[in-house]
Amino acid sequence: MNKFNRKDLVQLVADGGHFSKKDARTAIDLVFAEIEKALFEGKEVNITNFGVFTPKTRQSRDGTHPKKHTRIKIAETRSIGFRLSKKIKNKLNK
């Protein structure tokens, strides 16, 4: 499996937009910081023709300890969901 990481993204943005790597890195960091901020505020982030990031909260619930078989309280957890846009999903499945 090939990987595409932040360093690769910075290089592509720098080359494609005729920016310095430093400027490209700053712009990318700003975009990700704003997405993160919106998600922490409970906002859905919709990037047209890419996808939708949605903050999700799983309510606290009762569970069973796997080794002791006693009742435990499982704390509320937060996570991020992502739904791919139809446009990209169609391209991916061609």
SS3 65: coil
Q: Read off φ and ψ for residue 44, nearest 5 degrees.
A: -80, 140
First CA to last CA distance, the chain: 19
Q: What is the pLDDT of residue 38?
A: 97
**44-94: CATH superfamily:** IHF-like DNA-binding proteins (4.10.520.10)
Q: What number of residues does the chain have?
A: 94
The pLDDT tens digits along the chain (94 residues) read: 799 999 999 999 999 988 899 999 999 999 999 999 999 999 999 999 999 999 999 999 999 999 999 999 999 999 999 999 999 999 999 8
Q: What is the CA radius of gyration of the chain?
A: 19
Q: What is the pLDDT of residue 1?
A: 75
Q: What stretch(es) of the chain map to CATH 4.10.520.10?
A: 44-94
